[in-house]
């Protein structure tokens, strides 16, 4: 009989959820998203003195950026290229990309003919939209 009494006399433990490990995990995930979102901001690292324009607006979608600096060096998304390779590089970038916008960032002191030669190459490509980057 003693056995039956012990069997039915057990203390009932109330299940509890320990919230402290959950809070730790949430803080780790939150800090990961905060740090990773800092890298999502597009920083233009090639120094270019852009011209001013009152009607400029911010592009919200991802674009292909062609930068022409004061030394007449051409960069496509921070990759230094020769002008003869622009067409192939743009075609390879827009092949798998729905957004076909190309933005030209040229220093305001660059010769006008250099920008026109890049524009001429881009206008020969079908289905892309061309924009010019300015400071507001």
Q: Are residues 30 and 84 in the same domain?
A: no
- 31 and 68 inside one domain: no
Residue 30 is predicted with a pLDDT of 93
Residue 1 CA to residue 130 CA, distance in Å, equals 91
Domain-embedded: residue 90: yes
Prediction pTM value: 0.57
Max avg pLDDT among 2-6, 54-58, 124-128: 124-128
What is the residue-averaged pLDDT of the chain?
A: 78
Using a pLDDT cut of 90, give the percent of the chain over it.
Answer: 7
Domain contains 58: no
Q: How many domains in the chain?
A: 2
Per-residue confidence (pLDDT) for residue 5, from 0 to 100: 55
Q: Are residues 72 and 127 in the same domain?
A: yes
Supply the CATH number for residue 79's domain: 3.30.420.270
Work out whether strand 79-81 and strand 74-76 pair parallel, antiparallel, or are unpaired: antiparallel
Same domain, 85 and 128: yes
Q: Considering the domain boundaries, does residue 31 fall inside one?
A: yes
- Domain span including residue 25: 2-40
* Same domain (yes/no): 100, 68: yes
- The pLDDT > 70 percentage for the chain reads 73
* Whether residues 16 and 75 fall in one domain: no
Decide if 33 is inside a domain.
yes
pLDDT tens string 5-28: 555 555 666 777 888 888 999 999
């Amino acid at each position: 009989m003693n056995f039956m009494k012990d069997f039915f006399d057990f203390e009932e433990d109330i299940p509890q959820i320990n919230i402290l490990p959950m809070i730790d995990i949430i803080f780790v995930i939150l800090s990961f998203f905060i740090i990773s979102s800092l890298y999502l901001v597009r920083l233009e690292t090639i120094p270019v003195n852009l011209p001013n324009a009152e009607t400029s607006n911010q592009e919200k979608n991802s674009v292909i950026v062609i930068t022409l600096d004061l030394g007449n060096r051409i960069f496509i998304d921070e990759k230094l290229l020769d002008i003869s390779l622009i067409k192939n590089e743009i075609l390879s970038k827009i092949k798998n990309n729905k957004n076909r916008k190309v933005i030209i960032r040229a220093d305001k002191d660059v010769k006008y003919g250099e920008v026109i030669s890049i524009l001429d190459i881009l206008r020969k490509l079908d289905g892309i939209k061309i924009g010019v980057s300015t400071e507001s």
